[in-house]
Structure 1
């Protein structure tokens, strides 16, 4: 008997280890849903309900149709959004029905199970974000003892299989309903504990039905149960095609495609070089062609004239300061716009200016609002250092600029800016 037990336990261990290796391999070779660390993997599961033992009873003995109490506690780890492992502990108590002799049995078990997230496998996310389904199964050890039967504990091995329906209540909590069947091997006693019956392999069966809660652990917003999987192979290809398509657009109509345009917001009709940059030989922030027009029109030879035309140029958004992603430090090439405003305010001491900050749509909205504030304050400090009194400057944080395609890297560069309004 001992040799048979060892062989069966060795087989069970081999199956469990094979499943774990398979799940880990799937994690490493599959296309990942989201980058590592962007969803939680651990959860705690607590369930309670009823049970029904069937077969493996002495003649004349039988249990109630539904017995209280069943309970189990488990800890689950997901390798990815589809596969995981669970270790759980179960407790059951059942007793005789009206027509049966009296008995009361206490049952304990522990199992290591593989878990398949059928909700992700079957793409439930296409029609619901709050309903899920898990399949679980594995092997373990059990024991039971009958109060009115044999005084000895009966130790067994078990195999189990079940389904768990999920309803997501919050990102940290889910309501569950579970139905599980457990078959037992190496069972020496009947479930009533009154007969030394050696039943066949995996003959004694226990059914559990329960409801419970799953608590998700971790700092990320979602658990693997609810994280949507994206095929990055095709997603990257789609992004590349999109980049090419959008890159060939000439947003500012200067004759240079956005993909190669280093200044994708140049003034329409103003001469640019082969890289799409406005020709500004004297580096004063005003395109040479426009500056020549203003000089010819208003007879000025140095700075642009203090009149409504220059105000229109500033207030129309042609004078900007740009930033790299997630930065509040202006790029060196865009400081000429600040210099242009400094010259205008010094020539017009009665004028004031709003310094207006923007951010692109990438990231958290509240963070982008704060970033637009920091960008505007950074430019304000440069203006103050250049000799403009702080009382003439008003910082405005306009947060995210949603006017461009947020998937385009080049388009996002346009809106990471500080612009001005003079009055």
Structure 2
């Protein structure tokens, strides 16, 4: 028994050292620490004498988890099980375990966020120590053993701080001398799947952010390398505009040339004629009318918040217009197609608007001049034209 206690304390100390070295980054928008509390049923898979059938109920677990990021983490898993059977020779036994496990957020690996924001899947596995203490019909004084623990954990997000989970775990024991009923284990040196645990429980985030790392979607943050890529694409678009400005056409001033190019790209001749009465010498009103009327939009792929390459010029055009007109503010409205749920479309459309907002701010536009919100599903287009619904539109003020 002393050996078991020593092993458990060693695991706890090791986990504490790892957690101390992995101090939480204050910039993260999720909590690294979490508690997993579960209870349920167990089934003995091996090391049981013939004729015994222990009760299913009587197991619980406590997990103290630290997520290094929203995909990988470590956990100290503590468990207890109680076995008894009122057979011809009744028995009672208690089982204690502690293990250090690695945790993988498979929902993030498999991109569950592209089709759900409620369900998730975790996997865990590790090694630890266990002790089987027989109390009836005799007291064995404790049977220490080594244990491997593997499991999968489907989750349902209740809110950002709490998730309901259903855990399926298998425990493999080494060096088990006694059966769970107190009889001798005839093959103690052989490993076997001794226990199957099924637990229902809750996971709680611990921290000021009130956000579980497992349900946090990293695409909500503009990642540095992706932002750098967007900056490079914006720079390329600016070069194209510069080439356009420098075209030598004797009869057409540069400002008129840009407007002529805009007309050719975004406006049919009959539409341009319709708005001819608002064109002023500076063309500001005309450009405002084009932007507000939806001639220039930013488009996205299905379930994505990454701006399509062909839409970067639209973002750059708005950026340049705001630079040239410092008194003008812009509102960004995101939309989604009809394929998702109402809640999903609202979140996705807002994330798209936020992405354009981040790019404009990174390009030098003051955030005080910008606002954004998600408009949800764009009901102005039909199912056959849903690619035009996945967009962000502009409203100049």
TM-score normalised according to structure 2 size:
0.55
Name structure 2 gaps, 5 residues minimum. Answer: 248-254, 257-281, 286-324, 333-352, 371-396
2:145 matches 1:156: yes
Matched residues, number: 274
State the 1:147 CA deviation: 2.8
- In structure 2, how many angstroms separate the alpha carbons of the residues matched to 1:183 and 1:134? 20
2:52 matches 1:62: yes
Pick the aligned partner of 1:201 from 165, 190, 205.
190
Equivalent residues in 2 for 1:24-423, closer than 5 Å: 36-58=27-49, 60-64=50-54, 67-96=56-85, 101-151=89-139, 152-195=141-184, 197=186, 199-203=188-192, 205-220=194-209, 222-229=211-218, 232=223, 235-248=226-239, 255=245, 406=357, 407-408=359-360, 409-410=362-363, 412-413=365-366, 416=369
Check whether the contact 1:61–1:96 (CA below 8 A) recurs between aligned residues: no
State the 1:358 CA deviation: 6.1
Check whether the contact 1:132–1:165 (CA below 8 A) recurs between aligned residues: yes
* Structure with bigger gyration radius: 1
Check whether the contact 1:405–1:412 (CA below 8 A) recurs between aligned residues: no
**Distance change >3 Å, CA 413–CA 115, structure 1 → 2:** closer
Which string of whole-angstrom CA distances, capped at 9 and with x for unpartnered residues, describes residues 368-411 of structure 1? xxxxxxxxxxxxxxxxxxxxxxxxxxxxxxxxxx9x95322457
Check whether the contact 2:100–2:127 (CA below 8 A) recurs between aligned residues: yes
State the 1:188 CA deviation: 1.8
Which string of whole-angstrom CA distances, capped at 9 and with x for unpartnered residues, describes residues 162-210 of structure 1? 1111111100000000010111122221111143755233336011101
SS of equivalent to 1:156 = strand
TM-score normalised according to structure 1 size:
0.52
Check whether the contact 1:187–1:199 (CA below 8 A) recurs between aligned residues: yes
Higher helix share: 2
State the 1:146 CA deviation: 2.4
Name structure 1 gaps, 5 residues minimum. Answer: 25-33, 258-267, 270-312, 317-336, 338-355, 362-401
Which residue number in structure 1 is paired with residue 394 of structure 2?
none
